[in-house]
Structure 1
Amino acid sequence: MGMFDTIYFDKAYTCPVCQGEIHSVQVKAFENMLEDYHVKDCVGHAEEIKIVKEELFCDNCSKFTGKSVYIVAGRGILLGTADTLEEAKKLLNDLNLEKLVLWYHDLYRRYISERGDKESYEGFLEDLREWYGERVHERPETDTEIKRQRLQFIWNWRHLKGALNPVESVERFLTHKKMMGALDELWKEGHEILDIYYAEEMSMSQGEESWSVDVYQDELNERCDLNWTWTVISKKELEQDGEKEEELPEWEVVVEELFSDEVVCKAIEKWLRNWRYEFSVRMVELEQARGSGLIKQLKERAVESEKVEGVSMEMLEKEMEEEEIKSSAEFIEARGDKRKVFYYEGFYGSLVADVESDRLLGKVEGTDEDFVYEGRTVRECEQRFREEVSRYKKK
């Protein structure tokens, strides 16, 4: 079959065989570099003018449909698609200087944005190489050295400082980039309010001084493939854990106030303002949220359970938890780079990076059962490791 490019339609076509939606078509008329193109994208040189006929293929029923579309490119820009050759010619003839100027202006803005992303990635890789290659992370943490590091690694300090290894640094950087990209998309789509919620009923009371909560935002979780979105933690809790704010990843927010839903919302709004986003944040109940990640899976299984007599939500949750623990334990044991990095009350805790799911995994070593924990940072994993040790000792 060879190399090709993919053209995405502004509006999906309907398959005449299975009535499924067809969102794209593969073509060999352009660069053939496995690129994805949308209307107004640059697909060739400025002098390039083409009308390409392609038969639609339905991925849903794995068949060619017998229906063709005409792909139109003018002055190197993808102008759109048409159902007939006459419509395609009209689309090409309607191209004028005013449209070209506007579209080239949009392309230039995208070019500037992509150039900024490229510089960001290159800068991070340079900092990553120096941080670990020159063993900067092993130098004594004097006040002078910390100030020098903060200045030298100003753009990537929180991706590097506090990370267990290069893999975690990369995960911090990529997760933050994905979050920023998703927030840009949400703002362009007209979202003004972000609904947040907790995954379960909070065990802490309003007004507690030492506290930490994981906060969920469905749109960001789904677009970035996150287990949760932010962690909001009190400064007192941070001090008790012996952690420093500058060592936390970008999505962990530290506050001084006592716990309340209002404090959590304001903390996330402030975080968004610091990144120049003007979203408002609203706390909703778990029942009001669409649910994402594990919560979404639980809801789907709850629907299935209604069809099975005698299967309760509690049983489904327990079954899912057991499956997840078993799968995670097998993954950890299979890794050759597993290391014992935690110690608490006579027990060691291991830690490995699961790059595909963007998380760190570990288990309590030396127990007759699997006690597994996970997190997106070393600090989170250590906290959950201690919780698992305490849970084991109570059994």
Structure 2
Amino acid sequence: MGIFDTVRFDPPRACANCETAITEVQTKVFEPGLREYHVGDLVQGSPILSGVIREELYCPGCAGSDHRKPQFVWFSLWHTLLVGVYDTPQEAEARLQEVDRAELLNYLARHQQAALTWHDRFSRLYGELQNYQDYLRASPEEQQDRENMRFFRIREILATDDPLAALVSSNKPQNPEDETEVGNEGL
């Protein structure tokens, strides 16, 4: 079977055979890594720098049907940036001709903001874990002092029955599968 990457559709596509909403396509044409891509993402291990790649769609509504006609989508890649997913190769080629610098700057800004969000999230989690470790290593007198400034950032977490579970929960993404941030702070 192998390892697939997934390209998500926004908005979903309707199956030409049964009208079922198709929200994604799995592909093996990129470097295998179980990655998830959206339009605007840089693709890892693309076989081409710029151009169009065809991929067959799978429709869960048509699965097992003998009357199913194959369906395809075409990825438009511009310097490994996924700039679109289209129903025809002509649309995909036309999209490559329309890419402009302002659009590329927008994609770059979005990815930089996402990287900052991840950095901030990691730093917050690391700091709270470090505070919790310090708390566990502290003397019983220091642990009992509720006003101890060393543990101020995690005082609500320490008040729970399971502080480690509370710490993980307070730092978890909204959707663990795609690791979307809770509340999309800063986006």
Please state which band the TM-score falls in when normalised by the shorter chain. 0.7 to 0.9
Aligned AA for 2:151? F
User: Which of 153, 156, 175 is 1:155 aligned to?
Assistant: 153
2:53 paired residue number: 52
Structure-1 residue corresponding to 2:107: 103
Q: Deviations over 1:243-266 (max 9, x none)?
A: xxxxxxxxxxxxxxxxxxxxxxxx
Give identity over the alignment, percent: 23
Counterpart in 2 of 1:62?
63
Where do residues 16-165 of structure 1 align in structure 2 (5 Å cutoff)? 16-44=16-44, 48-62=49-63, 66-132=70-136, 134=137, 136=138, 139-140=140-141, 145-148=145-148, 151-159=149-157, 161-165=158-162
**How far apart are 1:184 and its partner, in Å?**
3.9
In structure 2, stretches of 5+ residues that fail to align are 175-180
* Structure (1 or 2) with the greater helix fraction: 1
Structure 1: where are the runs of 5+ without partners? 189-395
Q: CA deviation at 1:124?
A: 2.9
The total of aligned residue pairs comes to 179
Task: Provide the secondary structure at the position in 2 that maps to 1:119.
Answer: helix
Answer whether contact 2:8 2:36 (CA < 8 A) is retained: yes
Match of residue 167, structure 2, among 160, 167, 170? 170
| Higher RCO (C-alpha under 8 Å, 6+ residues apart) | 2
Distance (Å, rounded) in 2 between the aligned partners of 1:105 and 1:142: 44
Q: Is the 8 A contact 1:15 1:65 kept in 2?
A: no
Normalised by the length of structure 2, the TM-score is 0.77
Q: Secondary structure at the match of 1:51?
A: strand
Using a 3 Å threshold, how does the CA distance of structure 1 residues 110 and 69 change in structure 2: closer, same or farther?
same
| Residues 269-294 of structure 1: CA deviation (Å, up to 9, x unaligned) | xxxxxxxxxxxxxxxxxxxxxxxxxx
8 Å Cα contact 1:55-1:65 kept in structure 2: no
Q: 2:135–2:143: 8 Å Cα contact kept in structure 1?
A: no
After superposition, the C-alpha distances for 1:181-220 in whole angstroms (9 at most, x for unaligned) are 44448x98xxxxxxxxxxxxxxxxxxxxxxxxxxxxxxxx
| Aligned-residue RMSD, C-alpha | 3.3
CA, structure 1 residues 60+154, in 2 after alignment: closer, same or farther (shift >3 Å)? farther
Assess if the C-alpha contact under 8 Å between 2:22 and 2:59 holds in 1.
yes
Q: Report the AA paired with residue 18 of structure 1.
A: C
Describe the shift of the 1:142–1:31 C-alpha distance in structure 2 as closer, same or farther (beyond 3 A). Answer: closer
Q: CA deviation at 1:57?
A: 0.3
Contact 2:40 2:82 in 1 (8 A): yes
- CA shift for structure 1 position 24: 0.5
| Per-residue CA distance 1:223-262 (angstroms, 9 max, x = gap) | xxxxxxxxxxxxxxxxxxxxxxxxxxxxxxxxxxxxxxxx
Instruction: Compute the TM-score of the two structures, normalised by the length of structure 1.
Output: 0.40
